[in-house]
Structure 1
Amino acid sequence: MALFLLERVSPSHVNQVWRQMTTWERHGDVVPLTQVTVVTPPPTREGTVFVARSGIGRLAFDDPMEVVTWRPPTDGVSGTCRLLKRGTFVTGWAEITVHPYGNGGSRVVWQEELRVRRLPTAFDGPLGWVARRMFGRAVDGLLKPS
């Protein structure tokens, strides 16, 4: 199990950053070799399910996720979204929180516990290192205007 935390600051308003971070299909645009499909009808809410399919050909796997907490930001109050990873290969959870920050900007906190089935615990350190870099780049990409 790898547990990691990322923080980023954006000059954009908290509502805009929330939309950028929680438009699930955009995650496929910033994570290499990944396509994201939302399975449930909009709008996003608790119970929304989406699947990130990562890899190439026979080496691809599905990473289904369910939104279990959905509290968008309102009137200067932070927004939080918690996801459960329900895959057969990758499990764990992720929590994305968007806080108002500074003079009209935002601070994103992404915390995740990532487990890869059948991966020995001796690999937790390297898994965390790789995940922090990969998800850090993904968050950076999501924060860019679309």
Structure 2
Amino acid sequence: MVNFQLERTAPLPLDETWRRLTEWPRHGEVVPLTRVTVLTDPPTGGGTVFVARTGLGPLAFDDRMEVTVWRPPVEGASGFCRLEKRGRVVTGWAEIEVGPGPGGRSRVVWREELGFRFLPGVVDPVTRRVARYVFGRAVNRLLRMG
């Protein structure tokens, strides 16, 4: 199990930053070899369930997630979302916080605990580096997408 945190600033209003990070199918557009399917009816909120399927053909796995906390930003106050990973392979959680940043920008803090049930702890340093790279790139791309 690895923990990591990413921080970014974006030249966007809070609500637009929030929208770009929490439209779940968009994550499939920025994470390689991944498709995201939302299993519950809109709008997103507590109880929303979605699956990120990553891989090719039979060499793929599902990362099933449930939104357990959903507090969008309101009137300049920070927004916060927590996802619990409920898959057979991927475990852990993710938290997305969007708040006011310097110079009218938005500040994003993405925290994650990520585990793979069948990987030994000895590979955690590699998992952490790869996860920080993949998720950091994904967050950057989501923030740039209109």
TM range (shorter): over 0.9
What amino acid is the match of 2:47?
A: G
What is the match of residue 17 of structure 1? 17
Query: Sequence identity, in percent?
Result: 60
Cα distance per residue 1:52-74 (max 9 Å; x no partner): 01000000111110000000001
Q: CA deviation at 1:104?
A: 2.4
What is the match of residue 65 of structure 1? 65
Match status 1:134 vs 2:134 = yes
What amino acid is the match of 1:33?
A: L
| TM-score for the superposition, normalised by structure 2 | 0.98
What amino acid is the match of 1:56?
A: L
Q: How do residues 1-146 of structure 1 correspond to structure 2 at under 5 angstroms? A: 1-146=1-146
Cα distance per residue 1:26-55 (max 9 Å; x no partner): 000000000001000000000000000100
Q: Gaps (5+ residues) in structure 2? A: none
What amino acid is the match of 2:111?
A: Q
Q: Gaps (5+ residues) in structure 1? A: none
Runs of 4+ in 1 over 4 A off after TM superposition: none
What amino acid is the match of 1:8?
A: R
Q: CA deviation at 1:101?
A: 1.1
| TM-score for the superposition, normalised by structure 1 | 0.98
**Counterpart-to-counterpart distance in 1, 2:38 and 2:61:** 16
Q: CA deviation at 1:145?
A: 2.9
**Counterpart-to-counterpart distance in 2, 1:21 and 1:48:** 15
The total of aligned residue pairs comes to 146
**Counterpart-to-counterpart distance in 2, 1:143 and 1:118:** 32
Question: SS of the counterpart of 1:108?
Answer: strand
Cα distance per residue 1:127-146 (max 9 Å; x no partner): 00110000000000100132
**Counterpart-to-counterpart distance in 1, 2:115 and 2:92:** 6
**Counterpart-to-counterpart distance in 2, 1:116 and 1:30:** 21
